[in-house]
Structures are given as structure tokens and as C-alpha cells.
Structure 1
Amino acid sequence: MESLASPIVGREAEESVLSSFVTSTGGQALVVRGETGVGKSALLKHVAERAAGAGFRVVRAVGVEAESNLPFAGLHQLLHPLLGHAEQLDGVHRVAFDVVFGRSRADAPSVMTLGTAVLDLITVAAAQSRLLLVLDDGQWFDAASTAVCGFVGRRLAGSTVKLLVAMRPEAASGFESAALPVLPLPPLSEPAATHLLDTRHPRLDPKVRRRVLEEAQGNPLALLELPSYLGANTAEHTFDMLSGYGLVPLLDRFQQVYGARLAALGPAMRAELLLGALDGVHAGAVTGLPGSARYRMRDVDEAVAAGLLDLDPDSGEFVFRHPLVRSTVVRSAAPNARRAAHGTLAQVHRNDVERRATHLAAATVDPDEGVAAALQEAAESATRRGGAAAAVTWLTRAAELSETREDRSRRLANAAFVAGHAGLLDRAQRLLDTDRGPSENESTASVLVSAYAALYEDGDVRSSHRQLTAAVERKRDSGAAGPDEELTRLVNLLLAISQYAGDRDAWQRTHRLLDSLGDLVPPMSRIYQDAWSDVVRRGRGVQERVASAYAAFPHLDPWDITRLGVAAYHVDTLGEHRRHLARSVERELRTGAVMNGMTMLHLITLDQIASGDWEAGEETGQRVLELTTAHGNVLFAHHSRAYLALLAALRGDLDRARELRSVVDRWARPRRIGFLTQIADAVATTVALSEGDYESAYLCATGITAPGTFEPGAHQAPRTLLDLVEAALHTGRAREARDHALAAQAAHLPDVSPRLALVTFGALAMTAEDNDRAAELFRRAETHPGAADFPFERARIRLAHGVRLRHSQGPRAARQLLGQAAETFERLGARAWAERAHAELRACGAPAQHRSTDPAALTWQEHRIADLAARGLTNKEIGERTHLSPRTVSSHLYRVFPKLGITSRAALRDALAAIPDDAGAGS
């Protein structure tokens, strides 16, 4: 039997690569990938020994299949020996480790936060001696740990830390997409395989030798183990045993080999090995959460002699010789033996909520409320730490072990609820189908799941609103004495559907129903009701309530973090609370809670638009569009397009804005999804304003709300206040503009949000009949504490007041304000608005606008695309001629317009004609 320390046969090329890996300067990561038994563990052992001899500190961890769904289990192993250095880190990073190691109940950090903390930790540890992190069986690392290790591995340059990962290609793993360098480990060449077999089994019968070489196909473990397994008295008997063996998969052959050795051991020895196998014992130090430890196998010399265990020289613990030994021990054990072992391990891990629950679940057959409650507690812990998939699994098992039908249904509903928020609607429905007989009425959970599917997959707000309303009425009429979890979930989804419907009638029905519930509606849901429905009439005081609710951030469920973010958007305080979303979004996406993650990305996009960080808003918007499309969430995909269309319109990329708006409008309007059709109308308004088509802008804006009113339930009505007023003024509708500004004042919009205060005072200044009054109102807008947080609106108000000053007091009085507006529009990238501000400056006698780029300095490709566009070709037609995607064509035109000093396609022909013939095109 091959010792781990013996020379490695046939791996000269790989050893050379790994030798360079160890001796090279600087930190780096490497993934060794190869099939089961091909020698990955032996190579890792060899590298670890070489590194230790060169002065490295070596830390090992091994993935365990039983822990692949346990959040951060792999990270526990890897970091446990290094935690003594955590005291040298800053408070934020210490807290991150406290969370993932179970010492804190705070919200789980994002991949970036935790990855940065790990980088700091290993950098501190490596200050004493160089560090080699060795991860074996990486395919069994849990998703959370894999994401962090991938993040760390990509950022080791400049350090003295090296990360070496071994994994099998046949098992899916996050390391496959971690973008780390890969060293493939193929089977041994025929000469190397022959040499290894002859060296280790020199007296094999020729027939057996030939058959082993054929069957092993260069797999070192097969070459070493098959001859011992076949140990027969005669070569003929051995050959008969091998007949047809090639039909058995290699993995099953290994299990037969190790199974035969296990069968020769006594019951007590097999039981001891089973405890070690189920607890993930492997080659590494004993690790675990605080208060728990790996099971230490005792009195196992017989298993060592049988070639099933080795003694780890570093830890002094007995470890399984190969991961396949561990899996074979588990698979060959009788069900009763496995349950007994799990029961023992539940006591070993009695201080570890999640590991104890895992073992209790496996040890229990009959319903047991105590075990079910422990699993429910583990699910809540997993949710907080970022493990949605594990939470669903534990809640499902808790339902199976519940003693009453009521508890079973409640826990299955909880599992379905978490699965629904993770976007696993099919799994959620399957969970509910197992709880309902063919003649039973629809359960609350079933209503929730079917309504989620109708909304997110089909955009069906009408029937889902009726379905939710009926379910809430049934709960109300059942005589509930106080707030009920099921009722709260129904209410919150009804509010979300009403928000998407976005019309007066739907909201009136919802308000009447919720009013009839009284105190059965919890305070958090009342925040959502007031913020999402109609901030004009119900928004006063909401921003303070949102801030108060967010104060409990570490203890909030992830869906409430998201819902409060939506409320903050409606009262324009997203900027104050965006950090909560930023801390949570990567965790939600990493753990599969994609619905929450998508909404958080939408909210981050909106805040980036509002704060003027439009480049970042574009990147975030594109990311969430790709994410929603990949997950088949049709509603959210159109939601993403709507925000990207609005941003494109603001930036002057008008063709793209129209294209995206058209897609959204065609899908949303027949379904009467008012939330999206209002955004589509707002996009059309912004496009028309950008082009100076004020009549169209007025018609689009009044499609959202009539002048002098704010349509109930139309969330865009207060948001387009400036648009309607400006369009009305430019089309000679001064009375309508004035009525609309006065309606905002009468509705006390300045008390609702900082943005609404800014635009209300701005609209009043724009429509004031007296210049002194206009100056006073402009000063209130300009000096409002929140004005700087909304640079685009502030610049529009400055531009409008600057124009008024030019006409009333002369060019000199207007120049400063117009210059400030122009500078802001330039910085934001609002091309049409910047051109308008510069035109006003020129009217004040200011020098012509300085162009950062020579109009003639178009690249050859840009010139070609601009010429085709000037001839009237669409982006798609241009793309077909130039072999580019329509989106790439749009990007080129987006760069061309400012170079030529224009804002629309219509101006292309004249701008190109103005370029001197001898100017040429840039390279």
C-alpha cells in the first residue's frame, strides 16, 4: 500500500508546475482538477511537505459532502487555525468572523466584506511566515465558502500567501467559475501505470496484471487497490472475478474494494468508523464552531491495518485514507446503525445549533416536536447567516417530523415562503402539493406561491389581486385575535401586487380591506401600505418610520430589508439606507435568494440614478437585467429595462431609451401593470424634453396625472412634477403649470421627502408671477438640506431660474447659475440638458462651449456608423452591415454625439457635413 510520503510516479510535469508554484515569489492560487483516484490528494500532500520544508506554514481543509449545504462549513475548517490573528483586525472584519463562526447573530456579511476580512486575516498570519492554504475535495465546499475562497484566490498577488485547491470535475462546484488558474491532472501514461503496478505488486499473475492495467486506465488508486481486492488463491480464479468488471463504473469499483475490507472488521470497529465518517473526519486538525469538535476515533488500529485509515502526522488524529473510504463506510452501514451514529453526534455537537439539528434530523424516524423545533431554529440561523437553500431543507425536514398537522402545514408553508423568496417557485409548489389532499381547500401558503408565480412569471396583477384579497378576507373572518404570520405574508404580497397594479381602484380595495383588519396588520406592513400606495396623501412621516425600522437592521429578515428599501425609494431616502442593501445583496444572490437580490439591485440602481452616479447605475442595471433574464423572472426583467430606459433618456441616448421603453410598454400595458406603464410614460416624457418637443412631453406627462392633481396610486405622479410644469410652461400653458405647482404645495409635498421639497419649491419658483417671489422660492429650493443629494433636479431648477434672471435682470445676473447648471449636466452626462445650458450661456455672451474632443476625431468605426445612421438606418440595420450587435452600435453612437456636439440622430447629417474634407477620421 502506497504511503502518502512515497515518491509519486509519472507526475514529473505536474510536479514541475507545483514546484514553481511553491518557489515563485508573490501570492497566487491554483486549482488541481482530476477524476477520483487520479492522485490529487497525493500531489497536495507532496506540495505541502515541500512548502513546509521551505518555511511555509501549511493550513489544510477538506470538503465534506455531508456539509456541502452547511453555510460557511468549509471556511470554518480553513480559518480555524488562524483565528488567533483576528484580534489584530479592525472591528468591522472581526464582526464578520463573529457572524460566520456563530459568535454573533448579526446579519451575514457580503462576499466582498467577508473576502476582504479573510484577506486581511491571512495577510496578518503570513507576516510571521509564508502561508500555504491547501483545500482538498473542493467540490464539496459549501457555496458560501467557495465564493469567499474564489474572491480571495483572485486577490493574492502581492502577498506571500498561496492557495491550492483540488477538486473532481464530475461534481459541480463554484470553483469551476472562480476564474482561478487550473492544472489538469490526467490519468497516468501507459509506461507510468505499468511501472507503478509492477513496483507495488511485482508478483501478479500475468493475466491479472493485464486485466488490472486495462481496467485501471491509468488511474493510480485503481492500480494500487484492485490487486489487493482480487487477492485470490489462483490466477484463474482472479481472472474469473474480473470478468465483466469493466462494465462497473470506477467509483463503484473503489467502493467494492473498500467495502470488502470493511466487511472483514468487527461491528464495534465499523461503528467507530461510521461516527468518524458521518462527522466529516479527514486529514486536518479538529475544527468546528465554538463549543463543538470533530469526533475523535479511538482504538482503530485494526482499520489502520486494513488500509482504511492513516495517522495524520500534523494533528496526530486518525483520518480516512481516501475520501472514498469515508463515503463507503456511510453507504455500507445499515440504516439503524446510521441513525444511532447520528444520535451520538447530535450530543457531540449539542452546542452547535446547525450541526446538532442536522444529526438529529438524520437520527429521527418518528415525529418528534423537539427535533422539529431544533430544525426550525437551525433554519432561522441559516437564514440570518446567508443559507436560504439549507433553510428550506431544514424546514422541510422539520415539517416531516412535526407531531401535529397544524405544525406540519406551518413549517411547510415557511419552507415554501423561503423558497419563493429564493425564486424557487417550482420547489415551493412541490412542497405545498405534499401537504394538500385532492379534496382540500387551498392553503394560505398555496395562495402565496401561486400568486408569486402569477405575478413574477406572467405579470398577472388582476387575478392575483383577487386571489390575495379573498385569502385575506378568509383569514380575517376566521377570528384571529392578533397579528398572524400567515396573514402578514398575505398582506405584504397584496401590497406588492397593488403597487404593481398602480391604479386607484386596486389601492382603494386594498385600503378598505386593510382598514377592516385594524391591529391585525403589523406596523411594518403599515409602513409599506403608506409608502407604496400614495405618498402624496399618506407619505408624511414615512421617512422617519422607515429610519426607525431600519435601526433594527441586524435582526431584520432579508425580505423586510428589501421592503423597507422600496419604502425608502418612495420617500426619496434611499441614499440614507443604501448601505443596508449593499451589505445584504451579495449574500442574497450568493445563497440563492435571488428575488430579494434582484429587488436590492433595482433599488441600488435607483439610488445611483438619483445621486447622479449614472455610470454605476448603468452597470448595476445591466447586471440585474442579465440576472433576471437568466432566472426567467419576466416581471423583473421588464422592471430592469424600464429603469435602464429612464437612465438612457436622462443621458441623451434617446434611441436606446425608445427601444427599451417600447419593449416594456408592449408587455406591461396589455397586462395593466401601472407601475411599469407609468415609468414608460415618464421615459417618453424625458425623451421629448431632451429633444425640445415640449408638446409631446406635455401629453406624456399628463398621461400620468392631470395638471393640478396627483392621481391616487400613480407613483410617478409626484416624481414627474418638474416635467409637467416645464412642458406646460414651454407650450404656453402657464395656468396649468401654476395650478400643478400650487397643488404640490397644497398637498404638503415638501413634508414628504427631501426631493419633493426641492422640486416643489423649484416648480413654484418657475411658475411664480412675481420675480421677487420667484427669487425667494428659488432660494428655498437651493438651500434645502437635501438639495445636493439630487443633482439633476437641482441643475434643472438652476437652469430655469437662470433663464428667468437673464430675461428679468440681464445676462450678468444669470451667468453664474447657468454655468453651475451646465457643469452639473456635463458631469452627469446629461447631453441634451448640457447643450441647452450652454446655449443659454452663449446668449449671455459667454464663450462658446469648449469641446473636450475635436469633432473630426472620430474613429474609422465611429465615422462609418455615424454615416449609416445619418442615412436613416436603424441600429439593427447598421449592425447587420458592420457585423456588430445593435447594443454595440448604440454605444458607438453614444460616444459620437458629444464628439459632434449634438444630442439626436436628426442632427447627424449636418454635423458630419460640417467636418472638413481633409480632417479624415481618427484611428
Structure 2
Amino acid sequence: MTSPRPEPMLVGRDEELALIDGLLARGRDRGEALLLHGDAGIGKSAIAGAAIRRARDGGATVLTTTGAPSEADLPYACLHQLIGPVLDDADALPDPQRAALDAALDGGAERRADPYRTGLAVLGLLGDAAERAPVVVVAEDAHWVDPPTSEVLAFVARRIEADAITMLITSRDGIPRSIRGAGLPTRRLDPLSADAADALLRALDPQLSPTARKRVLEQAEGNPLGLVELLTEAMRVGSDPALPAWLPLTTRLERAFAARVGDLPAETRTTLLVAALTDRADVTELLEAAAALVGHPLTLDVLTPAAAAGLVEIDEARVRFAHPLMRSAIDQGASDGARRAAHTALAQVLAADPDRAVWHRVAAAAGTDDALADELAAVAHRAGRRGSAVTAARTLGRAAQLTGGDEARGARLLDAAELALEIGRDDLVGSLLADVTGLSLAADDVHRSAWLHETARREAPDPAWFSAYLDRVGQLLATGDVPRASQALLTVAFRRWWASVPREVDDRIIAAAHALPEPADVVRIVVLSLAAPTTRGPEVARAIDRLEPDAVPAELLRLLAVSGALVGSFERAVVLGDRAIERLRARGRYGLLAPALVGRAWAGVFAGNWSASLAAAEDAARVSRETDQVLWAVSGIAVTGALTGLRGDLPSALALADEAEATLPAGAADGMRALIELARGLAQLAAGAPLAAQVHFDLILDADTPWHAAFIARWCVADAADAAALAGDAAGVAAVIAQFADAAGRSAHLDASLAYARVLAAGDDDIDVLAADALAACAGHPVLRARVQLAHGAALRRRRHAASARGELRAARDAFEALGMGPLAQRAREELRAAGEASRAPVADIADVLSPQELQIAEMAAGGMSNREIGSALYLSHRTIGSHLYRIFPKLGIASRAELRTLLAP
């Protein structure tokens, strides 16, 4: 049985329908997504329905899901609905992806779900289906889609470029954070124009009186649902719609729907209430629960009056409300007792599905219930294991509301707040802590509450914030909880990294680091590098050199890549970063990649191989955005700008630096501005604009700059000296040397940089000696060694010692070429030519032909990895990898992987 109600007329939506037609047409060859958003009743569902019908008519496989309020806290509820028709293909997925998908969809699984590997599994499922026929994914009401499914939708939407997959996502204006941040093409659906609204109303009822037409048009405000339903209401009461015009349109519509429900038989109203409270609306479950309420069996005929009234559409398996506002009108129109009774009946019917049943029991609860609170806490634990920390925190907070006794309730609220804090949801932390206010807490929780209140503040941390957090570290160490103490200390150190704090705060952080027991040695190294990269730099560098990378857990190795860069051990940081990235990718730990990629990329700025470093930088920016790690994103964008500039693209470099500055949260980490200025300075220097570069380097070197970062000032000593020398500013070179000559805790890289700067400042009489000293100082720093040779060779040429100059310049050229630093190699060739030696034409650098990502894929393919293996490592579909290789081969003048292996052989 289906409702006799006709399909909604899409009057005034020609542009939107043309947009859908274009989307579907392009989706037959390549992937594309669209986010359609707007007010309730504006026509999103009607356009989505048109897209579904046109896709099916065109032979596409259509997969749909719809968000619903009561399932928003059930992890992956909407994903299960979406991929159900293709789930049988999951056996063809690689084992890690299939395991991730099983863990996500199986609420009782003991494995911990990984949302990113789950996303890759879904991408694989959809891509495999798209090889048989184009796939169209329609996700409606995204504002009610559970957070893990939202993350998967965003993940997939970013990666469908080479797959015949079209995605249409609809949402009210409260678009989920993950969808909003996916960077999808977006279209806001506005109200109908006056002419279109009038045309729709005339089509619906040509005989409507002018007075009624005017009243309906005014009250509907161009909202199509408003036009239809206010007209229906006028026809129902036999007069003009009498609802007050000052009410919001949604409220007027809900009241109209509620009035229509009031005309129905009692058993129909009861059944509709049950349907309104269970979003899946399975007919069997629905009729069972309604029968329990009315006291006798029911058949589907009970809903015939509701279908005739245009409230629901039904078939043998499902009941669907014609619009979500109808569901909310029925819910809000019922008494509290009736709602609780309906929830109780649903909980009994759903006893075999405990995660759904418990939420109905919670909704039916009146007051506290410790047993039910314990069950809900177990649901929260399962949600966390299935990759939804947000859901886990919310659920634990609801469990706290059901918990009797202040101490137990407070402990649960604080547990939930701590979980929300870990994922950066300060808004959720604030609401949970508000519920703690006024409760009598256990002694330990009094301290924990104070700590959470301090740490959850939105403004930049101040000494009180650090003091509260360090007190927490001390408490955890005192109880022997080293893992949590280590994590808390890392949090403190990362916040201190970019903050300006009193000396006593640094002293406490350093003391806490040394108080960690021996198993936490790596944490100690990372904390010292973050809190005191200049004063403790040599200590950290020695410790990093002694470590065996494969003996360090990948979760910590990724942080050591950052530590190595901070203290100037750039070559070592590249090694650690590459190994951490390799291990994390092999394990599918996408969310942990950002620090390793950022540290490795910045290290590469100073250690060479700029193409590989740029690939890491671009990955860093992309991963950080997707995983909502804003500060890592700022650093990733900035280092992408730096490397783009070093490779010769000044406009793009400056645009990226501006983007990094715009991304930086106000007041949260002002010291990161130094990274942005460094990117600008390096780009201007590489572009042959030393005066412009000096402006940026001077800001970085000035200790009175509000956002001064001492370790970055040390990074750029050689470049600042270079800029001054090229600008003819001998005093500027001397000032750079003087600023750091007596600095405490100098790293080997800083000493080598100063030695290079002295060569730039040298006169003819002492340059040869200073160059020899600099070469010795640069023994472990091949980039600086080559720069010394370039500077010395250029000076020898100017003094007309051509033969000696050629030897130095030739060595510099060869070193820069080997280090993948093409622009500097070109400078050496030009100097060599001026010295009388026609330098050989440079061998075409593959890095100049391919984009950084293409080079990365080419190297993986040359190493013997299949398209699927490369896709799994880079979190892309294997078809996208194949598409890249299809473009790579002609660029390199080859036709096979065998030729690629030969070309990229070491």
C-alpha cells in the first residue's frame, strides 16, 4: 500500500535540476560530490528524490541513507543503511580494510574501529561497484547523520576523483563539522521566487480564492513545503489558514501537522507516535510496539488514515514520514506519559538489539537509574571502540545524568569531559563541566574538575593553565599512572611549544620530564625538545642519535621526527620521519600521521631532497585538515609554502603563507607566525629578492617580536646571512653572527650555519681559512657544506682564481644535484660557467616533471607495490592510483612498470 499523494512538483528549480543532471552526467566518468543545504521544507528532499529517479533511469547503482535524530548516537547506523546493498562485496577488500569495516559495523566487536581505514574500505566497496555501473550516493539530512558516518562520507567525497561515483549530500544549515570541512562544492537552496511560488500554488489549486492565495503565499515565505501544507491546512479547516503569522514557519507547519493528526483514530495516533520515536520504522517492530500499547494485535491497515492524510508513505517493510517536521510535530504533541510508554514498548520489542533498546529505555526513564546508567556507560565504551569519541563522550554524559549520587555522577561527567577534551571538542567539555557545578565530588575529582576547567578554556593558555595541568601530571605520577602522566605531559609540552611562558613554567615542565621513569625515555626526549629546544637541544640531539628507530613505537617515533627538526638534527629527523610514516601507513594509522609528516617536511627544507619533502608537506596539510588538527595544518601549509618557494614558485609560496596565517587560530599559538615568516623569507630569497627576504628574516631574528620563536631563529641563520650578503649588507651578516656566536646550547647545525655565515662575511685575506674551517664544521651537514663550497667558489672566481673556483663550484653543483636541490644546483652551474667551465646540461630531474604526489606514487610503484597497496598506504582508491600512473608514464616517456623501476633505480 502506498500513499495516494502525488510527487511534489519541482516548480522554480530548473537551475538546481540542471546542476543535478550535470553532476550525474560527469559522474559516469569521474567522481564528483555536491552538498545541498537550506532550511527545513525548502525542497532538498524533492531534489534528492529527482536525483535518485534520474540516476536509476540512467542505469546507475543508487545507494541512499537518511539521518534521523534517534539514531544520531548509534555509531555507523547510517553507514550500515548506505552500504547494505553492496556489503556482500566486502570479502574482496584487503584484510585490514575488511577488518576495519567489520569492527565499525559490528557493535559487539572487540577490535577497535579506525574511522579512516573504515573510510578507505567504503571507498573500495563503492569503487568496486562503480566498475560494474556508475554509483550514485545520496545522503539526506546530514545534520542528523551519526558522526562516524559523517566522517566516512567526508573521507570518501574527497577521494572519488577517478571513480564513477557521484555523491549528493543534503543538510539543514547545521552542517556537521566533518562534512563542512571536506571542501565540497556547495549549493544553498533558497526560497522560491515570488513568481515560482505563485505558479506552484496555482498548480496545486487553480480554484483557490485570491484572498486565501495571498495569505498562503505570505505565510509560506517561498518555502515549497509551506505552500503545500498551509494550502492543505486551509482546505482541511475550510477557510484561510488561521495560524498566527508571527510564528516561525516551522512552528506553524508543526502545528498544522499536529492538528491533522488530531483528526485521526486513536489507534492510528498511537502507531504514528511509535513511528515518530523510532527512525528505522520497520513495520514489524512498529506494529508490535503499537499493539503492546493498545492491547491487541494490529495490521498495517491501522496507518491507512495517516497515509490518506499525507502524513506517511508506507509499504510492506517501511514507514516513512512525508517530512521530518511531521515526525517532530507528533513527538512534541504527545504527553510525557504517552512518550515514555511508547519508548518502553519499543525497548521491549528491540531487546535483541541492545544498543538501540537501551536508548529507548533511557528516554522512558523518569529519574535516576544506576543499572541503566551502567548499561549506557557500556554503550559509550563500545562507541569509543567503534571510532566515535564524540558519541562516546555524549553517551557517557547521558549516563551520568542517570547516575544517582553526586560522587559517581561527577566522576562520570569528568570522564566524559576528559574524553571530549582529548578530541578537541571544547564546546562539549564546557557543557559537561557545567553539569558538574554544584556536585559534591570525591577529593581526587575536585582536582580533576579544576584541571579540566582550566584546560578547556578557549583562550590561549596562561601560567594558571600550565600550573593546573602540571599539577595533574604530578598527581598521576604519584599514583603510578605513567601512561596517562606521559600523555598529560606531552599535552602540556605541545601547548608550551608555541606559547610565551614564565621561566618557572619551563622549569616545572623540564623537572616533570626528568621525573618520568625509564620506560618513558622517549616521552622525556620529546617533552624536552618541545619545552626547551634551544637550551636542551644538544641533550635531545644526542639522545635521538642513540635511538634505534624500530625499537620505538610508531606513535612516539612520529613525535621524534618533530623533535629532531626542533633541535636542528635535520638529517636524523628525515630518517626518523620517513620510518615513522612508513610504519604508520603500513598499520593504517592515518590520524597519527600529521606530526611525522610535518617534522619530516620541515627537516627536508634544510636537509635537502625538496621534492620528497614537498610531497610530505602536502600530505601533512591534507591529513591535518581531514583529521581536524588545526595547528598541524598551519605548519603543514607553511612548510608547503616554504618548499614551493624554494623550488621557484614565488606567487604560490606567498599564497600558501597567507593561507597558513588565515588558518592560525587567534591567540592559540602566536609563535607559529615565525614559521609563516620563514616560508615567506625562504621563498623571496630563492626568487632572487634578498631585500624582501631580509624583512622576514629580521622579524624572525628579533627577540622582541611578540611571537618570537628562538628555535626557528636558529634554523634560519644561514639563510638570513645569505639574504644580507646578497643584498650587499655586510653589517647585516655581522649582526646575524654576533647574535648567535655566544648563544647557549648551540646545536651542530647552528655551529655549521655560523661557520657558513663567517665565510659570507670574510674578506679576501681570510676567506680561504674560514672556508676550510666551515667545511670541517659542516661535515655532518651536506647542504651547508655545499653552500660553503658555492660561496667559496664564487669568491675565488671573483678573485680570478678560476681553477680553484671550478673545483669548489663543481663539488657544490654535484652535491646540490644529488640532494635534489635543483635551484641551488642551477646557481652553482651559473657560477661555474662564469668561471670558464661549460657545465654539462643537467640530467632531467624526474622531480621537475612530476608533481610531488606523482613522484611519491611513481617511487612506490617502482618499489614493487601494486595499485591497491599504494592506495592503502596513501588512503586513495586503487583506481585513483591507476589514473595517476596513466598520466605519469607519458610524462616520463615510458610505457611500463619495468621501465619505471629502471628509471628510478638508486
Same fold (TM over 0.5): yes
Aligned residues: 768
Tell whether the 8 Å contact from 1:154 to 1:180 is kept in structure 2 after alignment.
no
Tell whether the 8 Å contact from 2:642 to 2:679 is kept in structure 1 after alignment.
no
Name the CA distance, whole Å, in 2 between partners of 1:598 and 1:737.
40
1:186-227 C-alpha deviation (Å, 9 max, x unpaired): 26736534444437xx7x899767755654466554454446
**Which residue of 1 is the match for residue 247 of structure 2?**
248
1:845-881 C-alpha deviation (Å, 9 max, x unpaired): 31389999xxxxxxxxxxxxxxxxxxxxxxxxxxxxx
Tell whether the 8 Å contact from 2:694 to 2:724 is kept in structure 1 after alignment.
no
Bigger shift: residues 53-62 or 593-602: 593-602
Q: 2:775 aligns with which of 761, 766, 769?
A: 766
Other structure's SS at 1:324 match = helix
Tell whether the 8 Å contact from 1:765 to 1:801 is kept in structure 2 after alignment.
no
Shift of 1:325: 2.0
Name the CA distance, whole Å, in 1 between partners of 2:653 and 2:527.
27
Q: Tell me: CA distance 1:646–1:733, structure 2 relative to 1, closer, same or farther (3 Å).
A: same
Name the CA distance, whole Å, in 2 between partners of 1:475 and 1:104.
28
**Which residue of 2 is the match for residue 257 of structure 1?**
256
Shift of 1:374: 5.6
Name the CA distance, whole Å, in 1 between partners of 2:440 and 2:328.
43
Unaligned runs of at least 5 residues, structure 2 = 286-296, 567-571, 595-621, 844-906
Q: Which one-letter code corresponds to 1:198 in the other structure?
A: D
Other structure's SS at 1:319 match = strand
**Which residue of 1 is the match for residue 904 of structure 2?**
none
Matched, 1:77 2:107: no
1:534-564 C-alpha deviation (Å, 9 max, x unpaired): 34224445477684586465xxxxxx78755
**Which residue of 1 is the match for residue 590 of structure 2?**
583
Q: Tell me: CA distance 1:469–1:219, structure 2 relative to 1, closer, same or farther (3 Å).
A: closer
**Which residue of 2 is the match for residue 537 of structure 1?**
539
1:458-493 C-alpha deviation (Å, 9 max, x unpaired): 575x665555555655666xxx34116764455334
Q: Which one-letter code corresponds to 1:78 in the other structure?
A: L
Name the CA distance, whole Å, in 1 between partners of 2:10 and 2:705.
69
Matched, 1:483 2:481: yes
Tell whether the 8 Å contact from 1:255 to 1:325 is kept in structure 2 after alignment.
yes
Which residues in structure 2 correspond to 1:383-782 (within 5 Å)? Answer: 387=388, 389-403=390-404, 405-420=406-421, 425=426, 428=429, 431-432=432-433, 434-436=435-437, 443-447=447-451, 450=454, 457-458=459-460, 460=462, 468-469=469-470, 472=473, 480-483=478-481, 487-488=485-486, 490-496=488-494, 499=497, 509-515=508-514, 518=517, 522=520, 525-529=523-527, 531-532=529-530, 533=532, 534-542=536-544, 547=549, 551=553, 553=555, 563=559, 566-567=562-563, 569-570=565-566, 572=573, 573-578=576-581, 580=584, 583-584=590-591, 585=594, 589-590=625-626, 592=628, 594=630, 623-629=659-665, 633-635=668-670, 637-645=672-680, 647-648=682-683, 651=686, 654-661=690-697, 674-675=710-711, 684-685=720-721, 687-688=723-724, 696-697=732-733, 699-701=735-737, 703-704=739-740, 706=742, 710-711=745-746, 717-728=747-758, 766-767=775-776
Matched, 1:41 2:39: no
**Which residue of 2 is the match for residue 124 of structure 1?**
128
Name the CA distance, whole Å, in 2 between partners of 1:54 and 1:433.
53
Which residues in structure 2 correspond to 1:864-875 (within 5 Å)? Answer: none
Tell whether the 8 Å contact from 1:722 to 1:763 is kept in structure 2 after alignment.
no
Q: Which one-letter code corresponds to 1:820 in the other structure?
A: D
Tell whether the 8 Å contact from 1:30 to 1:183 is kept in structure 2 after alignment.
no
Name the CA distance, whole Å, in 1 between partners of 2:578 and 2:649.
12
Tell whether the 8 Å contact from 2:72 to 2:145 is kept in structure 1 after alignment.
yes
Name the CA distance, whole Å, in 1 between partners of 2:523 and 2:791.
40
Tell whether the 8 Å contact from 1:259 to 1:332 is kept in structure 2 after alignment.
yes
Name the CA distance, whole Å, in 2 between partners of 1:589 and 1:17.
32
Superposed CA RMSD in Å reads 5.7
Name the CA distance, whole Å, in 2 between partners of 1:447 and 1:548.
36
Bigger shift: residues 243-252 or 382-391: 382-391
Which residues in structure 2 correspond to 1:223-238 (within 5 Å)? Answer: 223-226=227-230, 229=233, 238=239
Q: Tell me: CA distance 1:285–1:606, structure 2 relative to 1, closer, same or farther (3 Å).
A: farther
**Which residue of 1 is the match for residue 323 of structure 2?**
322
Shift of 1:565: 5.2
Name the CA distance, whole Å, in 2 between partners of 1:471 and 1:255.
50
Shift of 1:305: 1.8
Q: Which one-letter code corresponds to 2:395 in the other structure?
A: W
Name the CA distance, whole Å, in 1 between partners of 2:455 and 2:376.
28
Q: Please, what TM-score do these two structures have when normalized by structure 1?
A: 0.66
Name the CA distance, whole Å, in 1 between partners of 2:707 and 2:374.
43
Q: Please, what TM-score do these two structures have when normalized by structure 2?
A: 0.67
Name the CA distance, whole Å, in 1 between partners of 2:551 and 2:396.
27
Tell whether the 8 Å contact from 2:137 to 2:165 is kept in structure 1 after alignment.
yes
Q: 1:178 aligns with which of 172, 180, 184?
A: 184
Q: Tell me: CA distance 1:465–1:227, structure 2 relative to 1, closer, same or farther (3 Å).
A: closer
Q: Which one-letter code corresponds to 1:259 in the other structure?
A: A
Tell whether the 8 Å contact from 1:38 to 1:185 is kept in structure 2 after alignment.
yes
Name the CA distance, whole Å, in 2 between partners of 1:9 and 1:342.
37
**Which residue of 1 is the match for residue 811 of structure 2?**
817
Tell whether the 8 Å contact from 2:103 to 2:113 is kept in structure 1 after alignment.
yes
Matched, 1:189 2:196: yes
Other structure's SS at 1:81 match = helix
**Which residue of 2 is the match for residue 303 of structure 1?**
303
Matched, 1:64 2:68: yes
Q: Which one-letter code corresponds to 2:814 in the other structure?
A: Q
Other structure's SS at 1:766 match = helix
Q: Tell me: CA distance 1:84–1:406, structure 2 relative to 1, closer, same or farther (3 Å).
A: same
**Percent identity over the alignment?**
25
Q: 1:845 aligns with which of 836, 840, 850?
A: 836
Name the CA distance, whole Å, in 2 between partners of 1:359 and 1:737.
82
Q: Tell me: CA distance 1:432–1:605, structure 2 relative to 1, closer, same or farther (3 Å).
A: farther
**Which residue of 2 is the match for residue 277 of structure 1?**
276
Q: Which one-letter code corresponds to 1:59 in the other structure?
A: L
Other structure's SS at 1:61 match = strand
1:92-115 C-alpha deviation (Å, 9 max, x unpaired): 7546645654568567455xx877
Shift of 1:179: 1.1
Other structure's SS at 1:247 match = coil
Unaligned runs of at least 5 residues, structure 1 = 287-296, 554-559, 712-716, 742-761, 769-776, 782-786, 853-923
Q: 2:205 aligns with which of 198, 201, 216?
A: 198
1:260-289 C-alpha deviation (Å, 9 max, x unpaired): 344456777555544443442379999xxx
Other structure's SS at 2:9 match = coil
Name the CA distance, whole Å, in 1 between partners of 2:565 and 2:662.
23
Tell whether the 8 Å contact from 2:103 to 2:110 is kept in structure 1 after alignment.
yes
Tell whether the 8 Å contact from 1:367 to 1:402 is kept in structure 2 after alignment.
yes
Shift of 1:723: 0.5
Other structure's SS at 2:811 match = helix
Shift of 1:391: 4.6
Name the CA distance, whole Å, in 2 between partners of 1:106 and 1:616.
41
Tell whether the 8 Å contact from 1:642 to 1:661 is kept in structure 2 after alignment.
yes
Q: Which one-letter code corresponds to 1:318 in the other structure?
A: V
Shift of 1:157: 7.3
Name the CA distance, whole Å, in 2 between partners of 1:513 and 1:325.
58
Tell whether the 8 Å contact from 1:646 to 1:679 is kept in structure 2 after alignment.
no
Name the CA distance, whole Å, in 1 between partners of 2:11 and 2:406.
61
Other structure's SS at 1:8 match = coil
Name the CA distance, whole Å, in 2 between partners of 1:543 and 1:5.
74
Tell whether the 8 Å contact from 1:32 to 1:166 is kept in structure 2 after alignment.
yes
Bigger shift: residues 28-37 or 73-82: 28-37
